[in-house]
Structure 1
Amino acid sequence: MPIPVRRMRFTTWRSLATAAVAALMAAFLAPTAAHGAPRESTPVYSYENAIRESVWVDTGLDGDSDGKPDRVAVDIVRPREPARQGRKVPVIMDASPYYSCCGRGNESQVKTYDANGHVVQMPLFYDNYFVPRGYAFVGVDLAGTNRSDGCVDVGGRSDVRSAKAVVDWLNGRARGYTTRTGAVTAKAGWTDGSTGMIGKSWDGTIANGVAATGVKGLKTIVPISAISSWYDYYFAQGAPLYDSGPDWLSGYVDSPDARAKCAAVQQKLVDGAPRTGDWTPLWTERDYVKDASKVRASVFLVHGMQDLNVRTKNFGQWWDALARHGVERKIWLSQTGHVDPFDFRRAAFVDTLHRWFDHELLGYDNGIDDEPMADIERHPDQWTTSTLWPPRTTTATTLRPGTGTQAGVGTLALRGGSGTETFTDDPALSETDWAAHIDRSTPEKAGFTTGPLTRDLRLSGSSRVTVTATPTTSTAHLSAVLVDLGPDTVRDYAGPGEGITTLTGRTCWGASTPGDSACYLGTEAATADVDFTVLSRGWADLGHRASGHGGPLTPGKAYTTTLDLAATDHVVPKGHRLALIVAGTDKDLIDPPSSTPALTLDLTRTSAHVPLVGGAAAFARATAGSAPAPAASVLDGVRDPGAALRVPGERR
């Protein structure tokens, strides 16, 4: 596990520069702070009279092969007063494929335009709230979507270049035009070039991708429920997570123009993403983790720990890579599924985002860099903080399964036993079925539990489970899940709102115009009473063991593979039990193999590597004097998680 940096500390030279800039700008951008450097931008500018304009930026690509460079549409809302006075403003940017096809946010808002083609409604609250506070907001249509040229390539070069070119234009390094096809140039003389990118799902993914280019001028990103490697969106170590590929997603968002011109790009997406789960050059291009060393921007990351759309391996591996390279960072982890923080923690999110952008883009010394690195939701609407994440005392601790008194019902301890356990893949059953029958000998899973804990036990980070298994057929999929066995009230992440209920009343965040309201439907936590909580999951095709390319298995031969489990932060309370379950197909979360194998686990060569705060000593203290619970029926927890699966555009 990577060693976390000491804190989100800025270097001395940047602190001095920040203080100097803040002192110079105090009188201009925060008139209310008459004494000393400003600590908060205030809504002193008119949103109603803001400048609304559109620019088309040259990406330097010709993705649609029409012989002309692709231009991406950039809709801008910026305060008029600083422009009149010759003062420059920073930029908040959301680059998205969803501005016309599908909409943004809980209410699926799309861009609307006036008769002159200038944006009237910009989805979400960012422009309403931040433009009066001295920021420009920029909404970029990714190539092949809405009013942009080119083709959608689902996280590839064209997607990332669409947004990077705009950052370059804002910093005077790319060409912009006043129309889609004209020759009149447009310059961004109104901005200081300091840019922060934000977005949920695909939008946040593009923020990750642009940051991984190291582009100058991108000061910070706020990726929400975002992908860090597109392979890990579609596959888990060779096991398919969805029954479709990036070609379907491209067709979901592309414009009519792109649909007519981009058949060749679509075919490349088909050919480059085989359903075998093999790693190909297409996935290398869409892996931003490998380029984490290039990231110059700070990162405020937000993710739902029960997100079964953009699964949490994506944030875990990205966070760990950023940590290895000392990137300044902050993180929020909720109990929700694929939900925006504006809809699960609205007031706190707006306040935190405001202070984050003030610090990163305006240089205000407001203390946010001295606050705890992590906010973690323990129970619905109950949050704790962690100075560092994962905490400094977190250690990957090896836990070993052992046989019990019943077949398939074993123990989990620091020392394991010998022997084997056998189960048969049943694609009709899921992780909730397995956990509900953890103390029963059932043919579809092998379960291993501690006794009731005598102290709380905290897991923080990413786990791995190494399995040695002998299959009876030439194909086999494996699932490994960690479960907290005990009653709790949690967000109903598998429900229709993935942990929230949308209300009828509205709350307002910023200024409104007749065409763009700053008022949004309120939400509250949707909860479920459960008897167990699946806290981390991982899947693999046994034929994809190490090379990234799969092949048929030899029945009767033992194979060893390590499953990467999703990142999480969870406290197993005193009196609960921690369980490891190993099984085959996890219904609705991975697709089944072509055969229905039985698999025999060699327990002497099977182990879980779990990030425990306090390490092995904490586990020993928490399990001291405990014994495995007697066999009992455990009721179902949250409903079938498959109900929460969506493409990145849904519940935007």
Structure 2
Amino acid sequence: MSMMKTILAAVAGAATALALAAAPAQAAPTAPHVRGTSTVPAYSYENAIRESVWVQTTLDGDLDGVPDKVAVDLVRPRETAAAHQRVPVVMEASPYYACCGRGNEGELKEYDANGTIAKEPLFYDNYFVPRGYAFVAVDLPGTNRSTGCEDVGGRNEVLGAKAVVDWLNGRARATYADGSAAVATRWTNGKVGMIGKSWDGSIANGVAATGVEGLETIVPIAGISSWYDYTRFNGVIRSPGYATFLSEYVSSRPEACTANLAELATGSGDDTGDLNAFWAERNYRPKASRVKASVFVVHGVNDTNVTTSQFAHWWSALRTPKKIWLAQQGHVDPFDFRRAAWVETLHRWFDFYLQGLRNGIDRAPQASVETAPGTWVDQRTWPAAGTRPVRVGLGNGDGVTGTLGGSSGNAKRTWTDNPDLFEAEATATPNTPVPGRVAFLSAPLRRDLRLSGIPTATLKVKVDRPTTELTARLVDYGTAARVNYQGPEEGITTLGTESCWGSSTAADDACYLDTAEDVVTDDHAVLTRGWQDAAHHVSLRFRTPLTPGRWYTIDVPLQATDQIVRTGHVLGLILQQSDNEYSTPSTMGATLSLDLAGSSLTLPVASGSLPPAGATAPQVKTAPAPATSSLRRPDLRQLP
């Protein structure tokens, strides 16, 4: 009988277990900040927790024998902390929080009387904290309240920012100002999304390239992926002393970082322009295979500060989920050229990758490209699907102005370098002889020509010096309304009205001046540019001086672009040597011969084609260039 009871009890227990297994699982309660597949503002920004902590690193950049500490200022919802609910983090690491400011209005960090953060620059905390995120603003080593020394994209900056991701995931220590422990895992789930424009976006690229766990996504806006390519154009120095200039501009600890500054001066190798070990450390592209984070790239195709090779080579090396926006502006944040769409898209991106909300952004078109002022086209991939390389020969034309396509015969072009020739004069009146430049023109286009990718000029040259700079420009000749990327605000105009994006406090409001696209109508525009030091044609790692009088075939890669040249317009290739407007050549004054039969232009053609060339180039009329005497060499040392 006892055995029977045991059997019956076992059967009953099994039946109960089966019944429980068959019953539908009770759904976890939805957090107040989640509604469907979107986060919504559910928490008080005014009453949010604001903290300042210092994360200990493994670095000793200032060589004082003490590990460097990275200052972190954060804002997080008080309600989620009270409910013991962990939230993801939006993080921006920057050298600009004390010296230069962030955003179109140059906002700086501000602190209360106790030294706790009261105002974070930009709208990220105002918008995302009420929606169940924490926002973390990191001072890069050697800047603002961090110790150590910043090193222009090097290991100090990258590992300093990485240490914060480690702290947010319980792998590093941090303290408050009083020395007590700051434990992030009590309030965060460790999911981090890094964002930032220019230098800030560059550090996001660098941290992602370490493969650090917990970094779920990055959003580099006009970010650098190779600091060599930022300070040099294929062996041509952009501006001498660039690395030390950048360091001194943002450093908050110049006295403590004299040794670091000396290392920047010697390591950068301005005397050679070579890609050496110093620059290899600051090249994130070879480590793209380590990136685990999804990547949302934003860049202006007319950015002459952080040029477009920075996003294009990084983009092509990535193997993680990725998305891209390409605008017609220069070095401008999408908040200032497509504000409403940007905030909505960024919101969905972070909700998907940090909150785990399946909102479909992963299935949306990968690329969004501005093809004309205010006209955006979504496409499946970038470069555009169907893009193919099309080689175009250089024709002799009338012997002065050549053709794109057509017969070259045995023609040569010979000219002496003109270091005073600036872009405006070099690209104007292409049918007129201009000392120091040669021009090649297509026939008028019979239909729109879409270029999407990296053009390359292949030049067969003979030079009477051991090296010279080779400069190529691709120009759209034809009257059109275009974004004025060379204007004072690089393609936008700041208005007198404001719009608000998130919640505000008395110290930190979410309202920003509105902007509009700056559009002008002109008769031609430079689509993209490229530079090459001739002595670096074999390798960027060393120079191979040219033997005067010998022919060499040298590729001049132009910057990546995505542009449409309209029907009836003429596509032009302008060649010159020294470019004192965008670079600082080491050798000037060479006489160069160009063999047209051995030279060509390769275009990344997505749609359309160049029509057959005529015997001579078409006549193109442009407004005259400014008088040479009015041209002044600009300061090339820009801040990324």
Question: TM-score scaled by structure 1?
Answer: 0.90
Q: CA deviation at 1:629?
A: 4.7
> Partner amino acid for 2:226?
S
User: 1:64 touches 1:150 (CA, 8 Å); kept in 2?
Assistant: yes
> Partner amino acid for 2:547?
T
Unaligned runs of 5+ in 1: 1-22
Which residue of structure 2 aligns with residue 331 of structure 1?
324
Paired with 2:284 and 2:410, the residues of 1 have a C-alpha distance of: 41
User: Does 2:208 match 1:208?
Assistant: no
User: 2:201 touches 2:220 (CA, 8 Å); kept in 1?
Assistant: yes
SS of 1:550's partner is coil
Which residue of structure 2 aligns with residue 633 of structure 1?
621
User: Does 2:306 match 1:306?
Assistant: no
User: 2:583 touches 2:636 (CA, 8 Å); kept in 1?
Assistant: no
Which residue of structure 1 aligns with residue 16 of structure 2?
none
Paired with 2:383 and 2:374, the residues of 1 have a C-alpha distance of: 21
Q: CA deviation at 1:392?
A: 2.4
Q: CA deviation at 1:248?
A: 1.2
Q: CA deviation at 1:184?
A: 3.4
Give runs of aligned pairs for residues 374-385 of structure 1, distance below 5 A. Answer: 374-385=367-378
Which residue of structure 2 aligns with residue 56 of structure 1?
54
User: Does 2:404 match 1:419?
Assistant: no
User: Does 2:576 match 1:579?
Assistant: no
> Partner amino acid for 1:604?
A
Which residue of structure 2 aligns with residue 281 of structure 1?
277
User: 1:178 touches 1:184 (CA, 8 Å); kept in 2?
Assistant: yes
Which residue of structure 2 aligns with residue 363 of structure 1?
356
SS of 1:291's partner is helix
Q: CA deviation at 1:641?
A: 11
Larger Rg: 2
Which residue of structure 2 aligns with residue 647 of structure 1?
638
SS of 1:100's partner is coil
With over 3 angstroms needed to count, the CA separation of the structure-2 counterparts of 1:142 and 1:302, relative to structure 1, is same
One of 27, 30, 34 as aligned partner of 2:30: 27
Residue by residue over 1:601-623, the C-alpha shift from the partner in whole angstroms, topping out at 9 and shown as x without a partner, is 11222122211115xxx42xx41
User: 2:395 touches 2:404 (CA, 8 Å); kept in 1?
Assistant: yes
Give runs of aligned pairs for residues 192-591 of structure 1, distance below 5 A. Answer: 192-255=189-252, 258-275=253-270, 276-322=272-318, 326-407=319-400, 409-413=401-405, 417-548=409-540, 549-550=542-543, 552-591=545-584
User: 2:394 touches 2:404 (CA, 8 Å); kept in 1?
Assistant: yes
User: 1:454 touches 1:626 (CA, 8 Å); kept in 2?
Assistant: no
SS of 1:604's partner is strand
User: 1:484 touches 1:532 (CA, 8 Å); kept in 2?
Assistant: yes
Which residue of structure 2 aligns with residue 99 of structure 1?
97
* Identical positions, percent: 50
Which residue of structure 2 aligns with residue 129 of structure 1?
127
> Partner amino acid for 1:155?
G
Residue by residue over 1:353-373, the C-alpha shift from the partner in whole angstroms, topping out at 9 and shown as x without a partner, is 111111111111112122221
Q: CA deviation at 1:245?
A: 1.9
Which residue of structure 2 aligns with residue 44 of structure 1?
42
User: Does 2:590 match 1:597?
Assistant: yes
User: 2:396 touches 2:407 (CA, 8 Å); kept in 1?
Assistant: no
Length, aligned pairs only: 610
Residue by residue over 1:505-564, the C-alpha shift from the partner in whole angstroms, topping out at 9 and shown as x without a partner, is 111000000000100111111122211121111101111112222254332222222122
Paired with 1:392 and 1:76, the residues of 2 have a C-alpha distance of: 42
RMSD value, Cα: 2.1
User: 2:76 touches 2:134 (CA, 8 Å); kept in 1?
Assistant: yes
Paired with 1:490 and 1:197, the residues of 2 have a C-alpha distance of: 32
Paired with 2:526 and 2:58, the residues of 1 have a C-alpha distance of: 47
Residue by residue over 1:224-282, the C-alpha shift from the partner in whole angstroms, topping out at 9 and shown as x without a partner, is 01111000001011111223321110010011xx2111111111111111222111101
Unaligned runs of 5+ in 2: 1-25
Paired with 1:627 and 1:331, the residues of 2 have a C-alpha distance of: 41
> Partner amino acid for 1:130?
F
Paired with 1:387 and 1:343, the residues of 2 have a C-alpha distance of: 25
SS of 1:606's partner is strand
Question: TM-score scaled by structure 2?
Answer: 0.92
User: 2:245 touches 2:637 (CA, 8 Å); kept in 1?
Assistant: no
Which residue of structure 2 aligns with residue 12 of structure 1?
none
Residue by residue over 1:276-302, the C-alpha shift from the partner in whole angstroms, topping out at 9 and shown as x without a partner, is 211110100000011111111111111
> Partner amino acid for 2:488?
P
With over 3 angstroms needed to count, the CA separation of the structure-2 counterparts of 1:280 and 1:521, relative to structure 1, is same
Paired with 2:406 and 2:188, the residues of 1 have a C-alpha distance of: 58
Residue by residue over 1:295-325, the C-alpha shift from the partner in whole angstroms, topping out at 9 and shown as x without a partner, is 1111111111111111111111111111xxx
Paired with 2:158 and 2:182, the residues of 1 have a C-alpha distance of: 23
Which residue of structure 2 aligns with residue 18 of structure 1?
none
SS of 2:393's partner is strand
SS of 1:540's partner is strand
Paired with 1:334 and 1:641, the residues of 2 have a C-alpha distance of: 29
